[in-house]
Amino acid sequence: KYAQSAQSGPLRDRIATGGKHQLLSVDQFTRETVEELCSLADIMQPIARRQKVSRVLEGAVLGNLFFEASTRTRVSFGSAFCRLGGSVCDTTGFTFSSMAKGESIYDTSRVMSGYVDAMVIRHPEQGSVAEFARATNIPVVNGGDGAGEHPSQALLDLYTISTEFSRLGKLLDGAHIALVGDLKYGRTVHSLIKLLGMYRGLKFTLISPPGLEMPEHIVEQVAKQGKHVIEQTSSLEKGLPGVDVIYATRVQKERFEEGQDGSFTADFQVNKAIIDRCCGPDVIVMHPLPRDSREGAHDLSVDLNHDPRLAIFRQADNGIPVRMAIFAVLLGVETLVQHSMRDV
């Protein structure tokens, strides 16, 4: 499939935006190009599983610039780059970068361009990663910009749904997906619903506490994408029956406006009791992580940890092959990967 699609020209040219090889938004993709990226992630799996090695990015340096907290995105992008033979330079938080001394995004980006071959950036302000990208010609990847987008997370989420559905003999067209939790500030769901909207005839049930609903402009964009049914509710009991996928998210209190009320009931906790009551044995439970395990948090419960329906750790593992595929595409080495692979 990947070789067939590659006949249409390099994937990086077909997903380019502003004439540049960068990944800022899932809007750069079509169903065809997203499936091509997933096929490339399949090719990367033996490397991610430490069965094969590749040095296809030997000599290349990644700049990992994270101005907001992260574990998975920062480490898995770094690990993906290293597993392809490259090396990584990190900066974490404003305090330890010269932005603390008033340096602009433009200057930071221009300077970094002379030091590294690609950058992954996480920043608390929506649109800021695009500003980094405008200042440079090296590939820039959006690792999460405020409440904006998190495209690599959505790509690995789609890859996870696709691989879980293959295992269960299900198709994505016509699937019923529940997005649960903070759909207002959760950037992963903003990106994921747009990617899923590229498929046909889906039913989306959007379950959020009052005041944390999916932004209207995203709902409208997805409604225009295809013949989807989109329902919104604030009740898990009403929303979960019949779903194929539950995608839970953390309430992002750090993005709340001054004085915004964050006190809702425990009804938003996805736990074993409600899944046993409302869903079948084939439901897939996902979460981008981190889940909030503090006392009183209404996040995905740990009582599902040994339940095979819980896909969160398989989902997190998929971050490596999908992010390898992203680098291979943006750095133009995707056709070299297979030839470069050798046994461990």
Based on CB atoms, which residue is closest to ligand CP, 154 or 333? 154
| Residue 290 C-beta: closest distance to ligand CP, Å | 5
CB 48 within 8 A of CB 324: yes
Based on CB atoms, which residue is closest to ligand CP, 31 or 72? 72
| Residue 160 C-beta: closest distance to ligand CP, Å | 12
Q: CB neighbours (10 Å) of residue 327?
A: 28
Quote the CA–CA distance of 3 and 1 in Å, as a whole number.
6
Based on CB atoms, which residue is closest to ligand CP, 73 or 109? 73
| Residue 171 C-beta: closest distance to ligand CP, Å | 26
Based on CB atoms, which residue is closest to ligand CP, 108 or 315? 315
- CA distances (Å), origin 15, targets 30, 198, 241, 293: 8, 15, 37, 37
Quote the CA–CA distance of 164 and 313 in Å, as a whole number.
12
CA 216 to chain CA centroid, nearest Å:
21
| Residue 77 C-beta: closest distance to ligand CP, Å | 9
* Paired sense of beta strands 342-343 and 52-53, if any: antiparallel
3-state secondary structure of 279: coil
Based on CB atoms, which residue is closest to ligand CP, 44 or 289? 289
| Residue 26 C-beta: closest distance to ligand CP, Å | 15
Based on CB atoms, which residue is closest to ligand CP, 22 or 142? 142
Q: CB neighbours (10 Å) of residue 101?
A: 7
Residues in the site for ligand CP, rule: CB under 6 A? 70-73, 144, 153, 288-290
Exposed, middle or buried, 169 (CB in 10 Å: 0-12/13-18/19+)? exposed
